[in-house]
Amino acid sequence: MMNKADIAVIGTGPAGVSAAITAVQRGKSVLLFGSAQLSAKISRAEKISNYPGLPDVPGTELAAAFKKHLRSAEINITEDKITNIYDMGGKFALQGASSEMYEAAALIIAVGVVPSKPYPGEKELLGMGVSYCATCDAMLHKGRAVAVIADSPDEENEVKFLAEVCERVWYFPLYKDKPSFAAENIKVLDDIPTQIRQKSLSERTLVTNKGEYDVSCVFILRRAIAADTLLPQLKTDNGHITVNRFMKTNVKGCFACGDITGRPYQYIKAAGEGNIAALSAVEFLDAK
């Protein structure tokens, strides 16, 4: 069940892809986490005019070229969202939304940036009736009412899963094209959540622009998880991970690259930093 590698790379944007390629080329084993379709930010760009060697390349073509490069380097993508990272002193343990655990001696964080602010109460109640992982925590709310807030249709399977375990699911999709479900205990709402409050040891109140919902747990399923929630010891500044020229963070053996380290937000900057992060991680491992 435990999957191990020398280096875990989180994120399949240009930063993570570049880091994985360099790390493997330097003889290290790599676990690359993210969507097999790669970062949506690559394919969504209409055309990219400043990527050397590929003038005016459409984003979809750049994504296809990245995928081809990964295949030829024999790098597989592990399609799992990392929800927690634990520094075990000398190695890192990573927990996926699938509830699978992974282990690596070095870590490269290339998760990009998605502007999202935590709801008031979210951080304080995390693990105490606010959860980022349906698979991990559903069973603790068996037979009770829960709320789910999600920013992409990818999470709809989690909603169905929760409905099998819980008595009622209030679903708050934050995207267009609201879904409908066959299960009668799922109610899809178009309210805008604003705040989460502790009601009692066993109940939370989700406040929206239209009303209040008392539930056992509020599941918040976002594409991005804040860096300092992933790994609380990480030094960040305004949502960006603080790194030096070698992409080193303040946590030993942990490196970061791409948009998550700060502006400018550019493909080539992300790919370049991915290269540096991988070389630094290789140097770190070889010095051990």
Ligand X SMILES: Cc1cc2nc3c(=O)[nH]c(=O)nc-3n(C[C@H](O)[C@H](O)[C@H](O)COP(=O)(O)OP(=O)(O)OC[C@H]3O[C@@H](n4cnc5c(N)ncnc54)[C@H](O)[C@@H]3O)c2cc1C
Where does this chain bind other proteins (CB under 8 A)?
A: 1, 84, 86-89, 93, 95, 99-101, 127-129, 131, 136-137, 139-142, 201-202, 216-217
Q: Which does 266 bind (CB under 5 to 8 A by kind): other proteins, ligand X, none?
A: ligand X
Q: Which does 287 bind (CB under 5 to 8 A by kind): other proteins, ligand X, none?
A: none
Q: Which does 140 bind (CB under 5 to 8 A by kind): other proteins, ligand X, none?
A: other proteins
In DSSP terms, 102 is beta-bridged to 3, 94
User: Would you say 206 or 224 has its CB closer to ligand X?
Assistant: 224
Stretch of residues binding ligand X (CB under 6 A), selected from 119-127, 189-197, 239-247, 257-265 = 257-265
Q: Which does 48 bind (CB under 5 to 8 A by kind): other proteins, ligand X, none?
A: ligand X
Stretch of residues binding ligand X (CB under 6 A), selected from 5-13, 123-131, 154-162, 166-174 = 5-13
Q: How far is the CB of 196 from other proteins (least distance, A)?
A: 13
User: Would you say 104 or 247 has its CB closer to other proteins?
Assistant: 104
Q: How far is the CB of 149 from other proteins (least distance, A)?
A: 16
Query: Which residue among 102, 170, 172, 267 contacts ligand X (CB under 6 A)?
Result: 267
Site residues, ligand X (CB under 6 A): 10-16, 33-35, 39, 41, 44-45, 48, 50, 81-82, 110-112, 223-225, 258-259, 265-268, 270
